[in-house]
Structure 1
Amino acid sequence: MSSANAQPLASDRATSSRGAAPRRTADPTTASPSHPWTPNPIVAALTPSGQTDWQRTWVTVDRGGIRWRVEPTRLPELLGPSGLRWEEWRRSGAERLVKRAEERSVHRVALPGGAVYIKQFHPNGWRARVRQWMRRGKGVNEVIRAGWLKSVGIPTIQPVALGERRRFGLVLDNWVVSEELIDTMPLDRFLETELPTLAPVQQAALSRAVVEELANLTARLHHHQFVHHDLHPGNLLIQWSWEPDRGETSLRKEPPRPRVKLTLIDLDALRRRSGPLPNRMIEWNLAVLDHYFRHRYPAAPRLRFVTLYLRTRQRLRAEAQEAGHSVPTTSTVFGGHSEPLDPRSLASAVSTRTRAWAERLWTRWSRRCLMVNKYFQAIRFERDGRLVKGFVARDFDSEALRAILSRSSAWFAASGSIEGIEPIKVSSSARILAVDSRAWRCQTSGNLPETTDDLPSSSKRIAAAASDCRYLIKRHECGPWWRRWTTLVRSSPARRAWQAAQHARVRGVPTPRHWAWIVETDFLGLPIREDLVMEDLRPARRLDHVSRKRWVGLSEPQRRRAARATLERVARLIALMHERSLTHHDLKLSNLLVLYDDEEAWEPTGSADEPRAVDLTAGPKEIWLIDLAAMSHRHPLGEKAIIQDLTRLEVSRRALGWLARTDALRFLRIALAGGLSDQDRWKRIWRRIDAASQAKLERNRRRGRPIS
């Protein structure tokens, strides 16, 4: 690559993506004139000629139509006559695939000079390609920004090679090769798998050390005007060890002291501003990091992180003063953009931003079920001369799904006379069948595989795992022709349930897993019938069944304890659902599934109404929401929707006849998630629920409709 083409790589465009702030480009060879106290991080990475250190020392070679810039000592073992030595590495077993996604893949290669990681960026789609042409290759970004971080002493990757394949001067694919960081692992995997296996004393010490190091790393990033837009534990590598035992210097032995080092990776998401970061940008960046920890850790360690973050920012500012840099006259920590924040104020602001950031992610993730991506795939095939289409989760075998659905019409018509097929529900709106492995292991027809040997090799693993699973197939008949036309302006019940299941899943609200949504259409493309393939959660039972068949046989004290324990779990589930901006318009006892500790207790011993003994007073072990066609997403969720949900459940409670109003008050206290501190609010909601419940009961009696 000529020096004219390489020259623009020395200075990055100082941008703040996603509309955070207008673009401002800093002079890479001078300090910021408006904020001279802040050292410019690019200065140390530049040589007098204006080139970065890697541009000056690396050699440039063309191999296999790819232009490589490589560290000279690594050139012989990385590149052959045709480029990277893939065939040689695979024959010797040195190459291993670490990660593969739509736009990049990562390989680890064990070499005599030390293992390396090869990250290949291959943009998927025209949008990604045009973005790369306009903004530069991601591999070049990673190499340049690694030099930025090293110039200010922030641990990051060590690149050793960079490759680009161009056509007509436009980047098509690019590679970056970096040295392996020994004895490291992603921070999220460490927190989820390694940390819980340690002794409690070690867990506490390591947790404190991780919080301190994470606060130190984030503060240094922000002090040097860096923002990482994908700052989460998956993009941080942790290396930890224990200090040597210094012996017992007193009668009481000190707890072990860990050493923790965090390294920042995925540098394409790193941005640099020409001046100090405003509070708004700092809060958003901390919210991106807090999103992972918000629902996994209590508030105390997260507040401690904010406190340590502010202390580190103040220390770095004092060190800049001592080094002779001029400091703004304002007493703010963040460079004069606003008044200084105390830890609780900053933590509160970050918490608000985190909730907004989470809602943004959840909304985007919930659309995945209606698109082709790495989580879902489209499916199209013929059944009875009609086009059948839909979406299926990629971790559910599509061939096994087609086998099940090719026989579903016969199974629905057989009314339970086929082994492995059991009718669960038959109503005017929907029919539900329970299908276990016997149905598609023993039934053979057409494209129905008899064994896993008939499936593609990529499907054998999933089919083998699915052989012991049970599924529910819920069929919605779309009715006469005029009703089918309404799907053009309003989603069908099956589609609403499919979308709501994804909303609940990404938000952590427990519901049965929905595997597939299949639509059978007529010649106009209008739906005739729709099938949902769902997870079978039996031996879990509906809560109305438990209350009518199980609780009534208990003594009065036992029944009261069982009801209170169960309703407390239900109230917490509803509070979680409302906190995640979801509402369920048909929230009744029959749309709640509960599972108690002893699963075998639900297995029949002769009659379905004569189960084995089980302690119901301890409350259910698990609880799920079902009938998701009535669930919807609203943000922000208003008080009217909350009252509507609680009113429907109150009607079910009153239908039982024996649950006391004090139980309902306890339920309301938990479901509101704010306690009874605001008396005006809870009393107002209590009265509105009572009035709406009375009206609902009276309306059902007047129309002769049963109360459930």
Structure 2
Amino acid sequence: MDSLKHGPYLKSGGPARTIDGRTRPPSVAANALDGSASTPRESTTSHDQIGLATERTMLPQSLSTRPEIDGGIPTPFVEFAAGRYVWRVARSHAQVLKSAEIDWFNLAGHPDAALVKRNSQRDVWRLASCGGRYFAKIYHPVGALARLKLLLRGPIAAQEWEVGLYGAAHSVSTVVPVAMAWEDGRRITGRSLLITEEVSDSLPLNDFWLTVRQNRVEADMLADALARLIARAHQCGFQHGDMHPGNILVRRSASRCEVFFVDLHRVKTGRCVMPRHAVANLAQLNQWFRRNAGRSQRLRFLQAYIRYRDQFAQASSLARNWRIDIGKLVADLAVQAERHANRLWAKRDRRAMRDNRYFAKLSPARGWRGHALLETKHPAGGAKTNLCFSKSDWRQWLRDPPSWVDPARQKLLKDSHTATIFRARLEADGRGIDVVVKRTLARNGWKKFVQMFGPSRNIRSWRLANMLRNRDLPVATPLAVIERFAAGVVRTDSISFTEFISDAVDLETFLTREVAALPGTMQRSVKNRLIESVVQLLRAFHERGFVHRDMKAPNLMVRWPAPHVGTPVLTFIDMDGISHRRRSSEAQRTRAVVRLCASLLGSPGCTASDRLRFLKTYLTAPGRPPTEWKAYWRRIHTEVCSKLHDKELRRSWKLAHYGRE
């Protein structure tokens, strides 16, 4: 929106203040100011991307009426200075915002202001004032990179303002702010402000989709509206850099859905959206929908997207009418979706070791430091991770760390030469959660040396458990890990806290106790569904690059209450044997199957035919010969026998060296 930054004049008739100190030629967005915008549309509303309130959009017809201002160039907004800030306000809101005695950059003390969202770069407030409800987004650059971007691009609020008008000029439904302000003369450290008006009756795309996905007519109507929006945006040179469902809002009308973009500061405009960029953009959206929509639903969306691309081939000078093959698009989308998922997962993995909204670094007692969970962004089903903790909670709980591994105070679950495990309960303000507390032990001199100076087993388990959660794999939620250091360098103790999985038993116990007690007519049905669930979990586990060298039945928890209707909930515990690779090899996958089969040889609830059914189900996949299981069966039998022999030797060695298994 260069025309907004450099083209208009002030009410006094002089040239407008520039935001970044440079003069550039007006862009296509100027059409929105002189009345030459695309076909007018009805006013739309949008919901804030975090799902708490909504914002009103400014559409082309609201920008096309431009009264003359003292003989200068007419504008749809007014600009004025207030203290050290320069304001630009939509003309329809100018009087209201100027008359309100509100310090928009300091809303913490305002009685009608509520903090909606806060991160390192932005605070979002909701405010009721002068008969209206508004959002105030205060951008504050933190870090050298953010300040460099501010120096090169100007205030972030101005970027979002410009993108909104660009969308309005090209009939791309977006949220357009009604006011903005920036600190004049502070290009590197200055704050900027964006104000939008709140409107009701809209939901984020992810929430709206969950309400309609079972209704074929409504789901198809939403997919069609979404495909139309994205296709037109791409053909008009509008590419959203963070196109997840939370940044696309939906409003239901009588016979159609209205869909539009929000959170516009990462949008690229004015450039042709090349095929690879369009596919990468769709892959961002597909990241959530591949878990929450069927293949046929996603295919219908892609078909509608291609159809609307052809329809909007003349929408702007940036439109391109490339021939798109649906089969190749699906294949390319799968590749791009995997790349996007890996980037997203890597970003989330780094959170666990930092101070942020979801995790905290702690020093609860002298010589102790570690990490703790504050909030889970995507709670796992059935877990008690809907509880939010604070740093003060953890400081209170961990002020005496050794007390959590004291057999006189806690319930001992396991005592071995490698770890002691207890069950305990965290209590605070009338709420609590049952936890498993684990202290790792070194079994020889080399292990002690590694534990003192290298990465500890508990820290490694903390990282891996969070990696599994980030990839939608079921795992007992890691809550905290703390370690004691001598002189700040030498690790002398390590304790971890993990969610206790209630109402669950390990796989071996479930087969031996639960399944064996069922009538013969029910056993086959329950076993078949259990086999299918275990196979699906193992496939997802290996596809996401994980390898488990200790995939035994006691390390897989099953929650499936009688009468065993539906599907079981499976959860991984004990991260010691898990590692993450780019790709798991065939030998590594086979070893996991061998280990699981060997651990169930002594279970009366698991017969040879059950293990064969499991193997055949696991090997069933496109491109695999139907008789492949025979070679695997013989190979697994040989390796299971070898595994049992090694296990007996290991047992004898432990008895000789430690006096216990």
TM over 0.5: yes
Distance across 1 between alignment mates of 2:107 and 2:651 = 78
Distance 1:479 1:652 in 2: 24
Q: Does the 8 Å CA contact 2:124/2:136 hold for their aligned counterparts?
A: yes
Q: Percent of counterpart pairs with the same letter?
A: 25
Deviations 1:113-136 (A, max 9, x none): 643322111223333223222222
Asked if the contact 1:132/1:138 (under 8 Å) is kept, the reply is yes
Q: Please point out which of 261, 265, 270 is paired with 1:264.
A: 261
**1:376 — aligned with what?**
359
- Could you tell me which of 534, 558, 561 is aligned with 2:498? 534
Alpha carbons of 1:87 and 1:120: their partners in 2 closer, same or farther (altered >3 Å)?
closer
Specify the alignment match of 2:82 in structure 1: 63
**Aligned equivalent of 1:315, options 311, 314, 321:** 311
Counterpart among 401, 407, 411 of residue 422 in structure 1: 411
Shift of residue 685, structure 1, vs aligned partner: 4.6
Alignment of 1:438-477 (within 5 A): 463-464=428-429, 466-467=431-432, 469-477=433-441
**Structure-2 change in CA distance of 1:699 and 1:557 (3 Å):** farther
The equivalent residue for 2:420 is: 431
2:516–2:605 CA contact under 8 A, matched in 1: no
Q: Which residue of 2 aligns with 1:283?
A: 279
Cross-structure match for 1:396: 389
How many Å separate the matches in 1 of 2:477 and 2:285? 28
1:213 alignment partner in structure 2 = 225
Number of equivalenced pairs: 595
C-alpha distance in 2 between matches for 1:236 and 1:10: 33
Aligned twin of 2:612: 665
Alpha-carbon distance change, 696 to 291 in structure 1, aligned in 2, over 3 angstroms = same
**SS of aligned partner of 2:363:** strand
Residue aligned with 2:312, SS: helix
1:653 counterpart (600, 604, 609): 600
Deviations 1:282-310 (A, max 9, x none): 11111011111011111001000000011
Which one of the candidate residues 234, 238, 248 is aligned to 1:236? Answer: 248
Q: Is 1:412 equivalent to 2:405 in the alignment?
A: yes
> Secondary structure of the residue that 2:191 maps to in structure 1?
strand
| 8 A Cα contact 2:516 2:604, kept in partner | no
Supply the distance in 1 between the matched residues of 2:171 and 2:31 (Cα, whole angstroms).
11
- Pick from 582, 588, 593 the counterpart of residue 641 of structure 1: 588
Paired with 2:200 and 2:157, the residues of 1 have a C-alpha distance of 22
**Aligned match of 2:302:** 306
Change in CA separation of 1:639 and 1:263 when aligned onto 2, cut-off 3 Å: same
Shift of 1:477: 2.7
Distance between the aligned counterparts of 1:619 and 1:306, measured in 2? 32
Contact between 1:396 and 1:515, CA under 8 Å: does it hold in 2? no
Select which of 540, 543, 558 maps to 1:576: 540
Residue 207 (structure 1) shift? 1.3
User: How many angstroms apart in 1 are the aligned matches of 2:413 and 2:301?
Assistant: 51
CA contact (8 A) 1:586 1:648 kept: yes
Which residue of structure 2 lines up, in the alignment, with residue 348 of structure 1?
Answer: 331
For 2:593 and 2:191, how far apart are their aligned partners in 1? 55
CA distance in 2, matches of 1:486, 1:5: 62
1:485-536, Cα deviation, whole Å (9 max, x unpaired)? 4258853211111111101111111111111011111225122121111111
**Structure 1 residues 624, 578: closer, same or farther in 2, change over 3 A?**
same
State the match for 2:657 in structure 1: none
Task: Pick the aligned partner of 2:639 from 692, 695, 698.
Answer: 692
Tell which deviates more after alignment, 215-224 or 527-536: 527-536
Shift of 1:694: 2.9
Code of the residue aligned with 1:526 in structure 2: it is V
* Mapped pair 1:226 → 2:244: no
Query: How far 1:64 moved relative to its partner?
Result: 3.5
Q: Residues of 1 paired with 2:147 and 2:108: CA distance? A: 29
Inter-CA distance 546–115: structure 2 relative to 1 (3 Å threshold): closer
Q: Report the Cα offset of residue 272 of structure 1.
A: 2.3
- How far the C-alpha of 1:270 sits from its partner, in A, is 0.9
User: Relative to structure 1, is the Cα distance of residues 666 and 135 closer, same or farther in structure 2, using a 3 angstrom cutoff?
Assistant: farther
Unaligned runs of at least 5 residues, structure 1: 13-26, 30-40, 243-257, 328-332, 441-462, 599-614
- 1:225 is displaced (CA, Å) by 1.8
Q: Deviations over 1:648-674 (max 9, x none)?
A: 112113343773443223212443562
CA distance in 1, matches of 2:450, 2:515: 43
TM-superposition CA deviations, 1:121-153 (whole Å, max 9, x none): 122333322322222221111111111111111
Q: Does 1:362 align with 2:345?
A: yes
Moved more, 499-508 or 203-212: 203-212
- Cα deviation code 1:219-251 (max 9, x no counterpart): 001111221111122111211122xxxxxxxxx
Using a 3 Å threshold, how does the CA distance of structure 1 residues 678 and 105 change in structure 2: closer, same or farther? Answer: farther
SS of 1:128's equivalent in the other structure is helix
How far off is 1:624 after superposition?
0.9
Pick from 438, 458, 465: which aligns with 1:494? Answer: 458
Instruction: Specify the SS of the correspondent of 1:70.
Output: strand
**Residues 313 and 502 from structure 1, CA distance in 2 versus in 1: closer, same or farther, beyond 3 angstroms?**
same
AA aligned opposite 1:628 = M
- Given that residues 215 and 308 in structure 1 are in contact (C-alpha distance below 8 angstroms), is that contact kept between their aligned partners in structure 2? yes
| Distance apart, 1:620 and its partner CA | 6.7
Closer/same/farther in 2, CA of residues 65 and 671 from structure 1, 3 Å limit: farther
Question: How big is each residue's C-alpha offset from its partner over 1:600-634, in whole Å with a ceiling of 9 and x where there is no partner?
Answer: xxxxxxxxxxxxxxx56x68732211101222222
Alpha-carbon shift at residue 553 of structure 1 (Å): 5.2
Rounded Cα–Cα distance in structure 2 between residues aligned with 1:182 and 1:77: 20
- Judge which range, 544-553 or 289-298, deviates more: 544-553
Q: Return the offset for 1:7.
A: 7.8
Partners of 2:525 and 2:257 in 1: how far apart? 48
**Cα displacement (A) at 1:315:** 1.5
Q: What does the per-residue CA deviation read over 1:18-65, in whole Å, with 9 as the maximum and x for residues that have no partner?
A: xxxxxxxxx756xxxxxxxxxxx44524659xxx99994433322242
Contact persistence 1:676–1:682 (CA under 8 A): no
Contact residue 508 and residue 553 of structure 2 kept, 8 A? yes
Counterpart for residue 459 of structure 1? none
| Distance in structure 2 (CA, Å) of the matches to 1:147 and 1:132 | 20
Q: Does 1:75 align with 2:40?
A: no
**Change in CA separation of 1:294 and 1:551 when aligned onto 2, cut-off 3 Å:** closer
Which residue is equivalent to 2:123?
Answer: 105
With normalisation by structure 2, the TM-score equals 0.81
From the superposition, tell whether residues 523 and 114 of structure 1 become closer, same or farther in structure 2 (CA, over 3 Å): closer
For 1:344, give the aligned amino acid. G
Structure 1: distance between partners of 2:650 and 2:535:
30
Q: Give distance in 2, aligned partners of 1:225 and 1:11.
A: 23
1:628 aligns with 2:625: no
Cα RMSD of the aligned pairs, angstroms, is: 3.5
How far does residue 427 in structure 1 lie from its aligned partner after superposition?
0.9
TM-score (ref. length: structure 1): 0.76
Worse-superposed segment, 545-554 or 520-529: 545-554
The within-5 A match list for 1:182-197 is 182-192=200-210, 194-195=211-212
Q: State whether structure 2 residue 532 is matched by structure 1 residue 514.
A: no
CA distance in 2, matches of 1:67, 1:262: 33
State the one-letter code of the partner of 1:63.
A
